[in-house]
Amino acid sequence: MSPPSTPAGAGSSAPGCPANNQDAEGVPDSKPVPEASPLFMGFEAGFRGNQASEDYVSFEDGPFAGGTTKVIANLRQRLDDWYEEQSFEERVMEMFSPSHAEQDLVEGVGSNLGSDSGIDQFVDDIETEALDHGRVGHAQKAARANRDADGNVRLLRRHFESTDDIGSDQKVASLHFPSLQRNISAFEEVRRAMNGTDMPAVTPAVRQRVNNGILEYIFVRRRGYFLVPPRRHRSLPTPRPE
């Protein structure tokens, strides 16, 4: 049975739901989203091996020990050029890394990758790949800042697709991006790495958005930063709960 169509205002990370909602604004009329994809962009994401544990993102001590911080962003997707101008190989390059495409590591939506995208092995080669291929990968850029000194993943991401459009009833290809981390600074460091502002200095083929991961196709509408107290202090917490 195919997944039900998700109404506007709802969200899902289930394979098939983006395909069943690709009549939304931001997706080409050719309906290119694969049935097996949990994302409008046609690939899997949020691989278990690339996620932090709940213990890792929790405060170890202090008045909010056991709590965490949360960043929530709403992004709008414009995917006409993603599907109409880019080949499958180029989409793999920009979502993962040029080496993922060169080595044929991604089949279909990427289910063959299992629980780990394998992105960490291509982080150190990012400048060489930018020079060789004229583009860099979204996951490749972000991974540069998403490990601590001991190799632990720093962010726990729980994003899902939606058709929400802020302030209207229009169906739009959107992404809700919640991220949990022990410190907001961890999110900001990964976000800066993902933005790849250093990449245009490596080669003019990579610009602020173009050929710079998936920045050409996603646009942040809103972002909020929150303290998430531990459950025992969740209701009306004071600045220094006992």
State the pLDDT confidence band at 4, using cuts at 50, 70 and 90: very low
Q: What is the pLDDT of residue 2?
A: 36
Q: What is the pLDDT of residue 193?
A: 98
Q: What is the pLDDT of residue 116?
A: 87
pLDDT tens for 204-233 read 999 999 999 999 999 999 999 999 999 888
Burial (Cβ within 10 Å: 0-12, 13-18, ≥19) of residue 25: middle
Mean pLDDT of 118-135: 96
Taking 50 as the threshold, does the pLDDT of residue 126 lie above it?
A: yes
Q: What is the pLDDT of residue 1?
A: 30
Q: What is the pLDDT of residue 11?
A: 52
Q: What is the pLDDT of residue 6?
A: 43
Q: What is the pLDDT of residue 163?
A: 92
State the pLDDT confidence band at 240, using cuts at 50, 70 and 90: confident
Q: What is the pLDDT of residue 236?
A: 76
pLDDT tens for 25-64 read 999 999 999 999 999 999 998 788 889 999 999 999 999 9
Mean pLDDT in the chain? 91
Taking 50 as the threshold, does the pLDDT of residue 8 lie above it?
A: no
